């Protein structure tokens, strides 16, 4: 043990080697995280491809059902098409209304003017400096 300690005393490169070890560990951890992200992307790709096949099967199934119903005289094919379009339009309108609500909520947020770039930004993106209100971008760039 004493020999080990004295070795550090006379080893001038010890801290540099320790830093290198830490850097190597960090690089290994970053590599591992990157590999995990790539694995996740590959899994997502598989899911998207499987869902694409399911969507194709479902649209074929719906087409066959509509034809069968039309052939049996139960439903007019045109009526099915019109009603489907109306339902899709209603969904699109609902999605658009929700998007406009979110935009309105963003606009309702208090805006402040940056003293450096003179842009109007949300109050949460403002840092108060010695010069006054500064946006995060100017504060980060040190303008």
Contact footprint for Zn ion (CB under 5 A): 114, 116-117, 135, 138
Min CB(55)–Zn ion separation in Å: 46
d(CA 50, CA 142): 49
Of the two residues 75 and 116, which places its CB atom closer to Zn ion in the complex? 116
**Tokens 């992200």 identify what position?**
37
**Contacting residues for 27 by C-beta, under 8 A, at least 6 apart:** none
Q: Is the Cβ of residue 4 or residue 142 nearer to Zn ion in the bound state?
A: 142
The least CB distance from residue 134 to Zn ion, in Å, is 6
* Nearest distance, CB of residue 112 and Zn ion, angstroms: 10
Instruction: Give 40 or 141: the residue with its C-beta nearer to Zn ion.
Output: 141
For the chain, the farthest-separated pair of C-alpha atoms sits apart, in whole angstroms, at 97
Residue with tokens 């006379």: 10
């Amino acid at each position: 043990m004493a020999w080990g300690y004295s070795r550090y005393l006379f080893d001038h490169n010890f801290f540099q080697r320790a830093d290198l070890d830490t850097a190597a560990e960090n690089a290994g951890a970053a590599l591992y995280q990157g590999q995990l992200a790539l694995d996740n992307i590959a899994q997502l790709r598989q899911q998207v491809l499987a869902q694409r096949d399911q969507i194709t099967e479902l649209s074929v199934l719906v087409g066959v059902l509509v034809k069968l119903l039309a052939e049996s005289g139960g439903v007019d094919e045109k009526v099915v098409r019109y009603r489907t379009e109306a339902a899709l339009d209603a969904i699109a309108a609902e999605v658009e209304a929700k998007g406009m609500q979110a935009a309105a909520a963003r606009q309702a947020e208090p805006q402040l003017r940056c003293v450096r770039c003179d842009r109007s930004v949300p109050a949460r993106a403002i840092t108060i400096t010695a010069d006054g209100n500064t946006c995060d971008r100017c504060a980060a760039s040190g303008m």
